[in-house]
């Protein structure tokens, strides 16, 4: 696995925190946004944006460095507010930005994918995104607790790469 550019990773999280301000951005959702960003981008360009690897956990694909980056950013770059949820729901760790993101870390294509990912999933909860990720080939084809192979993104066929041209 390539070494992660922590400043770029931090700015991916800051991008989502600045873009999604409707109260749905919790820790689970940020992990799923990272997954969809990286696997969609990989499917089209053959590389991920964050450089992170993903593990197949019960809550869906989880980026290996996601939790560590959030802890490192907490109080400096983002504020993580623990929201008490109603009976039967887990408490949510709501994420709010404390600063803007820096565009210099991203290519034009990466910025486009960041924006598309945020717009597509903005209204969804982390739980809904978890369900969506569980229906995808990368999740289905990977054993519990294993690293998810990015090449499984090609079996989602989002960009028609598996079409035969018929």
User: pLDDT digit string (tens) for 107-141?
Assistant: 999 999 999 999 999 999 888 999 999 999 999 99
CA distance 68 to 126: 19
Q: Residues 65, 93, 28, 129: is their CA dihedral positive or negative?
A: negative
| In the predicted structure, residue 157 carries a pLDDT above the cut 90 | no
pLDDT digits (tens, 9 = 90+) for 52-103: 999 999 888 999 999 999 999 999 999 998 876 666 555 668 899 999 999 9
Within-domain flag for 63: yes
Total domains in the chain come to 1
Tell me, yes or no, whether 91 lies in a domain: yes
> Distance (Å, rounded) from C-alpha 124 to C-alpha 128?
6
Range of the domain at 53: 6-156
Mean pLDDT of 156-160: 59
Phi first, then psi: give them for residue 2, nearest 5 degrees: -65, 155
Cα dihedral 69/92/134/39 (nearest 10) = -30
Say what the pTM is.
Answer: 0.90
Kindly state whether residue 108 falls inside one of the protein's structural domains. yes
Task: Tell which wins on pLDDT, 24 or 30.
Answer: 30
Residue 163 lies in a domain: no
SS3 at position 74: strand
């Amino acid at each position: 696995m390539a070494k992660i550019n922590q400043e770029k990773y931090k700015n991916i999280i800051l991008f989502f925190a600045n873009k999604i301000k409707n109260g749905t951005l919790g820790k689970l959702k940020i992990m799923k946004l990272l997954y969809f960003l990286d696997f969609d981008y990989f499917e089209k360009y053959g590389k991920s944006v964050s450089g992170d690897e993903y593990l197949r956990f019960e809550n869906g694909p989880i980026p290996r460095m996601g939790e560590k980056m959030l802890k490192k950013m907490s109080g400096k770059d983002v504020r993580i507010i623990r929201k008490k949820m109603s009976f039967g729901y887990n408490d949510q760790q709501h994420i709010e930005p404390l600063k803007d993101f820096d565009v210099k870390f991203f290519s034009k294509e990466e910025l486009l994918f960041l924006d598309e990912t945020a717009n597509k999933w903005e209204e969804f909860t982390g739980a809904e995104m978890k369900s969506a990720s569980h229906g995808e080939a990368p999740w289905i084809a990977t054993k519990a607790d294993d690293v998810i192979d990015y090449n499984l993104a090609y079996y989602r066929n989002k960009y028609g790469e598996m079409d035969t041209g018929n």
